[in-house]
Structure 1
Amino acid sequence: MTGKVPSFSPGCTVSSALPGYVALCLALQVPRLVSAQFTVTGPNHPIAASLDGEAVLPCHLSPRISAENMEVRWFRSQFSAIVHLYRYGQDQYGQQMPEYRGRTELLKDDITNGRVSLRIHDIRPSDDGQYTCFFKSNVSYEEALLELQVAGQ
């Protein structure tokens, strides 16, 4: 018994559509393969602090993924109003707002599980208010709002 091998001519719609179809399927799958989706969570209540004391503002990723190679940015009302910045695996102080210089510390003991906290020393009345905890990976970013209430003003 002899079988015929099908042949596709250059004008055949199946052969000309196939590369486009394969490319489309790959394009739709790539973001799903590389995208690491996460959410950022902070406390759902204000953090209380006393004048001249210190405050610890906790923030974490869900699911628990490492943030070692992410950008972690704490800022006030504007993205550029940097309270503390961690990028390229280390703290970056060059763009920090002058009023926070020497008063902040990023607690990174559990950064491999996506948990970081910002410690602010020598609390001042101006520290009162909202803070944003921002995480950015190579493919996505998320943020959470936190509130610091300074007592004894």
Structure 2
Amino acid sequence: MRQGRKSIAQDGALSLLSLSQIADVGCVFGGSCVLPCRFQPNSDTTLHWIKRNGKNVQVHSYYDDQDQLGHQDPLYKGRTSLFHDQMSGGNASLGLARVNLQDQGRYLCYASTLEYNQVTFVTLTVRGELKSWVNLNPNPNSEIIFIFFFCFSGII
């Protein structure tokens, strides 16, 4: 994990910007996963989750003490959530449900308070799940059949 901090001027005031690089997150196709993001909690919290894929795709926003999903990309509608009960402790992680191949890529979490700005990058990789089934037929004349099914490894 890489971190860097620098001061920036914002509206004539001095503010602290913290940049973080987080290790990749692997999510199983069709499952749910969490994209981690932490920030220094304070008053007047603003959060934006953006997918960076050549253009900025609005994934989830939170400000004025509530989710703001009016500009959310339709691909993410009904699939994202924040941990509201943990925000006061600095948790801005994004829950993502029904993961699909289009979700794979680099995400930016921007968290801002009156005194602090945090930018975190998370790279999401979608992978398949290895499942195995065994058919055990009690008939002694039958064979035991092992079937292995590999969904896929999501590489775009």
* 1:37 paired residue number: 16
Count of matched residue positions in the alignment of Structure 1 and Structure 2: 117
The structure 2 residue matched to 1:115, chosen from 91, 110, 128, is 91
* 2:107 paired residue number: 131
1:98-118 Cα deviation digits (max 9, x unpaired): 000000001122211222210
Give, in whole Å, the separation in 2 of the partners of 1:102 and 1:120. Answer: 9
* 1:99 paired residue number: 75
Q: CA contact under 8 A between 1:108 and 1:117: conserved in structure 2? A: no
Which is strand-richer, 1 or 2?
2
Per-residue deviation, 1:41 = 4.1
Determine helix, strand or coil for the equivalent of 2:94. strand
* 1:5 paired residue number: none
Bigger-Rg structure (1/2)? 1
1:5-59 Cα deviation digits (max 9, x unpaired): xxxxxxxxxxxxxxxxxxxxxxxxx94xxx55352546x3111111100110111
TM-score, normalised via structure 2 length: 0.65
The structure 2 residue matched to 1:83, chosen from 59, 63, 73, is 59
Where in structure 2 are there 5+ consecutive unaligned residues?
1-11, 129-153
* 1:70 paired residue number: 45
What is the percentage of aligned positions where both structures have the same residue?
26
Q: CA contact under 8 A between 1:41 and 1:59: conserved in structure 2? A: no
Q: One-letter code of the match for 1:75?
A: I
